[in-house]
Amino acid sequence: MQKILILGAGLSASSLIKYLLDRSEEYQWKIRIGDLSLETAQRKINNHPHGEAFLFDVSNLEQCNAEVAQADIVVSMLPASMHFSVAKACVEYGKNMVTASYVSKEIQGLQEQALEKNNIILNEMGVDPGIDHMSAMKVIDRLKSQGAEIIEFYSATGGLVAPKYDNNPWNYKFTWNPRNVVLAGQGTSMYIKNGLYKYIPYHKLFQRLLRTNILNYGEFEMYPNRDSLKYREIYGLANIPSMYRGTIRRPGFSRAWNVFVQLGCTDDTFIIEDSENMTNRQFINSFLKYETNISVEDKLAKYLGIAEDSEIMYRLRWLGVFENTPISLARATPAQILQHILLKKWVLAEDDKDMIVMQHRFVAKMEGKTQEILSSMVVEGSDQTHTAMSKTVGYPVAIATKMILTGQIKARGVKLPIDSCIYEPILSELETLGISFIEEEREI
């Protein structure tokens, strides 16, 4: 009986765990799930005869090594910063590993050891990164095989709320780690457009937007991700004139979110004095000019150069940032306080369902014609456990795990899912699970 070790049983692991448990009898798998919360791991196992839950702490290297040594394959669904300890143990004991997170420099440094031990460390197997790589490479490889020259490539993904449950003025609710949402985009974003390198500092990021329509879901906006340039080499598009990767939101979100960026509310580098005795209104006012004769709303509107009855101000009022609601959060950074405020408004209700949207746009020259290809994916969640995020993150990881155990994936070393021998069967099975792309083509 093959032993699958899953480390981390959070929300994004729900569909992964169910997929593997559902097939454990057929493939004779024993699935051992470790998490800092034993209760969470036990709930995901749900008394399945092929499952076993245990308390796991990745900082306990002795426990980590012992668990890895006993497994046939390790699936790490831990926070990204914790993967290296697991990967190091996998290489030491010659165990295969799959993770949904970006490959780090430290894990990339295990390449030679992984090859020596004849095992694979397969990274970036979630949705973004993951499905984005595989679906993009499928089109890129096809176009290249047809002799096309790809001159533009745009790719963006967003975790949103499904239209039926989109009932607030921000058109947004938390569908993944709220802290990551608050801190998103910090640093300088870079991409290339018609051969010109473009660099966008954080304080301008949410003003530099692109617009697109996705299938029958209407209009969306995109802001650029941190580093689009590195994907030229990864995707085999070293000389492409235009390369852009971004994050998708509904129209109007980014300009309203930019208020918090301009104020400094997303800063996570310092502590707000006496934050436990502060109100929402005082928090916002602490970033504005000292003036006692005008309201906080008026000061903010003037600072931003917008009307007090504008759509942006309406969205801010709806969040309650001008209310005298106690924050009651001691020694908190601005980002932590903002997250605390947002969590009261952007949480999915019990019956809400989330949605993942992804779109690639290719412009290619072939036989004297220029063609645009839009490849779009929309996935809606089933419920609060098997969310769209859980499905699109978990299913690719689960399928890859199965393919490694059954010998379908024979690649070794530190890998990304950009080879056809990996992405073709995974994308094919994802279609049977309701995760597929629709292509639209036109000459331009």
User: Total domain count for the chain?
Assistant: 3
Determine the Cα–Cα distance for residues 247 and 314; give it in Å rounded to an integer.
24
Is the domain of 82 the same as that of 112? Answer: yes
Q: Is the backbone peptide bond immediately before 49 cis, with ω within 30 degrees of 0? A: no
Tell me whether residue 432 is in a domain.
Answer: no
Mean pLDDT, contiguous 10-residue spans, the chain (444 residues): 96 95 98 97 96 96 96 96 95 97 96 96 97 98 97 98 97 93 96 98 97 97 96 96 98 98 98 97 97 95 93 97 97 98 95 97 95 98 94 98 97 97 98 98 94
Domain that includes residue 103, residue range: 2-123
Sign for the CA dihedral angle at 36, 352, 317, 207 comes to positive
Is the domain of 180 the same as that of 303? Answer: no
Is the domain of 223 the same as that of 200? Answer: yes
Is the domain of 21 the same as that of 84? Answer: yes
Residue 140, domain CATH: 3.30.360.10
How much is the pLDDT for 372?
Answer: 98
Is the domain of 279 the same as that of 316? Answer: yes
How much is the pLDDT for 355?
Answer: 97
How much is the pLDDT for 176?
Answer: 83
| Backbone conformation region of residue 46, classed left if phi is above 0, alpha if psi is from -120 to 50, else beta | left
Residue with tokens 């169910």: 18
| pTM for the model | 0.95
Is-contact 371 441, C-beta < 8 A?
yes
Is-contact 127 157, C-beta < 8 A?
yes
How much is the pLDDT for 169?
Answer: 97
Beta bridge mates, 29: 2
How much is the pLDDT for 351?
Answer: 94
Is the domain of 62 the same as that of 161? Answer: no
Is the domain of 117 the same as that of 136? Answer: no
Is the domain of 299 the same as that of 174? Answer: no
Determine the Cα–Cα distance for residues 280 and 341; give it in Å rounded to an integer.
8
How many CB atoms neighbour CB 353 within 10 A? 20
HSE, CB side, 13 Å, CA atoms: give it for residue 7.
31
How much is the pLDDT for 11?
Answer: 87
Residue with tokens 């400094």: 264
What tokens were used for 172? 């947004």
Is the domain of 277 the same as that of 310? Answer: yes
Q: What is the largest CA-CA distance in the chain?
A: 74
Tell me whether residue 195 is in a domain.
Answer: yes
